[in-house]
Amino acid sequence: MKTEDLIVGNRIYKVSELTKLIRLELESSFPFVWVEGEISNLRQPSSGHFYFTLKDDEAGEDAQIKAVLFRSDAFRIQTENKRNSLLPKFELKNGIKVICGGRITVYEPRGEYQLVIEKLELRGKGALQLAFEQLKEKLKAEGLFDEKYKKKLPLLPKTIGIVTSPTGAAIRDILRILERRFCRLHLVIYPAQVQGEGAAQQIASGLDYFSQRDDIDVVIVGRGGGSMEDLWAFNEEVVARAIFNCMKTKPVISAVGHEIDFTIADFVADIRASTPSAAAEMVVAKEEEFRSKIDQLVARLIQAEKYLLEVKRNRVNLLAEEYIYRHLQLRLMTLAQRVDDLKARSARAILEEKRRIGESHSQVEAQAEKLKHLVELKMKDYEASWERLASSLSNLSPLNILKKGYTICWKEGGLMPVMKATEVEAGDDLIVSFYRGQINCQVKDIDPRIKIESRFIKESK
């Protein structure tokens, strides 16, 4: 490339300047566009932003464009989807097809043009199915479908809680089944919207309400049939978690749609009923089965009692013919005498044990008195030893020597006693301690030759 090729209007541009001009041109030409494609090379670093490539190979040629979904926009899109229950909830993954709305710009450090996404939706009829599969995999991984959390229906439920539309086909089917079978059940209906905006939140509120009531034996949640869009409220995560939470206190039956319809609620609930009518039959069947079983057990019990009585009667007749039973009275009198003998022996043993306990108590008191006397003697010995030691310590006290007229000389401010005249020098300050009081003096002269003993001898002569 020649230098002249970079001259536009007699000017040579720097790379950054040219990139900036291209960015401004693209942003002004494509302020907002919708782009359809398949996500690939998806990555999400610690910043929380999403970076991926939108591919389009339907034309027979590979075409792609870089795309970025910043964390703030991703959060906003997710929040909008949560507020609108009609929008399917999904996670970005490689291979899914989406429609993205945003602006075209240039990432100047690499000189690449890219789509900055502000809106994002799933594409095509498979959007709901994809959101369904993604939520199903997520909840399954968390264990919400595990069999260990499933409970059986109660044998004789008295009160049933129903979360459904009060005017829908589901509640009519349930009431028809219960009326036909003359079941003595108390129904509590929580009216909830089962389709459209806000339906999932109302269904979840009903489940939360019944989970807090102790008088509810079983809960039925559902609605009649419809399209996947009509049943979508029962595929919402908020409903699935509300069912799981309610299952902690009471069993939940999911009765949504027809036989061929499956929802997330069906996988979470304790029991799935193919229709609302089937759910009612399940509850009623428990009572009918229980009553039938009781009748069978009663019949078996009566038959068993008759057989047992006949066996006992035959046994008594046979025993009556035995020799030992002909002398039963004598045997009983012998046993009674044996009992009296054992009672007498027990009474004597008890008296003997009491006597031994009394003697042991006297011995304990004597030993305690002896121990007390020994302790007193030992304490007196300790007191005498203490007095002797205290007297000896008192005689050795320097204060007793000072009482006889002796003194103690201290140097270094009263810290060191002076033992010899050579330990001080002329001019040193000394402290002389008497029995009462002390004097501060200064050394004028030192004569180490004079001893105290010779002075006393000379003065005595």
Using one digit for the tens of pLDDT, what is the confidence trace for 335-386?
777 777 787 887 787 888 777 777 777 777 777 787 877 777 878 887 877 7
Domain ranges of the chain: 3-124, 147-289, 402-460
- Residue 286, pLDDT above cutoff 70: no
CA dist 248 and 144 (Å) reads 12
Q: What predicted TM-score, i.e. pTM, was given to this entire model?
A: 0.45
Return d(Cα 219, Cα 283) in angstroms, integer: 10
For position 46, what pLDDT does the model report?
87
Q: How many CA atoms lie within 13 A of 40 on its CB side?
A: 12
Same fold, 3-124 and 147-289: no
Q: pLDDT tens, 101-123?
A: 888 888 888 878 888 888 887 77
Q: pLDDT tens, 294-304? A: 888 888 888 88
- Cβ–Cβ < 8 Å for 162, 220: yes
Name the CATH topology of 147-289: Rossmann fold (3.40.50)
The position carrying tokens 């022996």 is 345
CATH code at 3-124? 2.40.50.140
The answer to whether residues 91 and 117 touch, using CB atoms and an 8 Å cutoff, is no
